[in-house]
Amino acid sequence: MPAGNGANGTSRSPRAITRLPDASLAFCELTHLERTPINAARARAQHGAYVDWLRARGVLVEVLEPLAGSPDACFVEDTAIVLDEVAIVTRPGVESRRGEVDSVAAALAPHRELIRIEAPAILEGGDVVVTEETLFVGLSGRTNHAGLKELAHSVLPFGYRVKAVEVSGCLHLKSAMTLIAPRTLLVQPAWIDLARVEGFELIPVDSEEPFAANTLRVGDSLLHPACFPRTRASLSGRGFAVTPLDIGEFQKAEGAVSCLSLLLDGGQARR
């Protein structure tokens, strides 16, 4: 397996792709939450603070314009899985989101070879947790066995294995677990079978904060929703550098911190 950030083991500057939220965000797809009003101006301000956090850590951020009439398009994570060697352009699990992928693919094309997931497969990036040697793939309402199979075939030449994790009670696998260090996962045990992620140190979320397992990792820094202080205190007590950020408007749309960007290098598992 390659060492370093690049496909040839060379270092690359950390980059991220994000997209400004469209005014239609309030009409987003919802699966596990009741619809509540979303303040578009506040969402823009929260997105700006998110981008500021990335840039403060040396990340070169490309901010795409809103995609008119696509409420969920700001959740760019779902449209691709970016590895050191290649980017897998996904086929989202709901029809309303499939128009999002082409513009993200165009932004990724200068940086990666692209491979596309094709029908009948469905696969969303929020269901894929990338580690050094394994891609954990959530089988959810947004990702099916055909999507997992296509992904496994696509990444096999690069030395990755793919391991399925059944997801229940939440939208995506990354709602239930995220990688916070090379061999450490922040997890919500109620939503996944922890036996599927053996070999990793597992840190559970606080029992009063069931939605707290999603983080964004850039280097040794973690970004975490501001509304989960108990879980954040647990992480800080273990020596993690964690920044709280208010993303409340996006949480109303079943979004989380990892959903709002695609990281190219700098935040990847193979370092």
DSSP state of 27: G
Structurally, the chain folds into a number of domains equal to 1
Q: Is residue 130 part of a domain?
A: yes
Structural domain of 89 = 15-264
Q: Is residue 2 part of a domain?
A: no
Residue 5 confidence (pLDDT): 35
The residue from 28, 74, 170, 259 that is catalytic is 259
Residue 30 confidence (pLDDT): 65
Residue 11 confidence (pLDDT): 56
**Does the predicted model carry a pTM greater than 0.85?**
yes
Residue 27 confidence (pLDDT): 67
Q: Is residue 170 part of a domain?
A: yes
Q: Is residue 269 part of a domain?
A: no
User: Residue 158: which CATH number?
Assistant: 3.75.10.10
Mind giving me the DSSP string for 54-86?
Answer: HHHTT-EEEEEPP-TT-TTTT-GGGGEEE-SS-
Q: Which of 69-73, 199-203, 223-227 is least confident?
A: 69-73
Going by pLDDT thresholds of 50, 70 and 90, the confidence category of residue 6 is very low
Residue 8 confidence (pLDDT): 36
Q: Is residue 222 part of a domain?
A: yes
- Catalytic site residue 172? yes
The residue from 47, 74, 172, 224 that is catalytic is 172
Q: Is residue 1 part of a domain?
A: no
Q: Is residue 89 part of a domain?
A: yes
How far apart CA 239 and CA 221 sit, in angstroms, is 11
Going by pLDDT thresholds of 50, 70 and 90, the confidence category of residue 1 is very low
Q: Is residue 86 part of a domain?
A: yes
Q: What is the pLDDT of residues 146-197, one digit of tens each?
A: 999 999 999 999 999 999 999 999 989 999 999 999 999 999 999 999 999 9
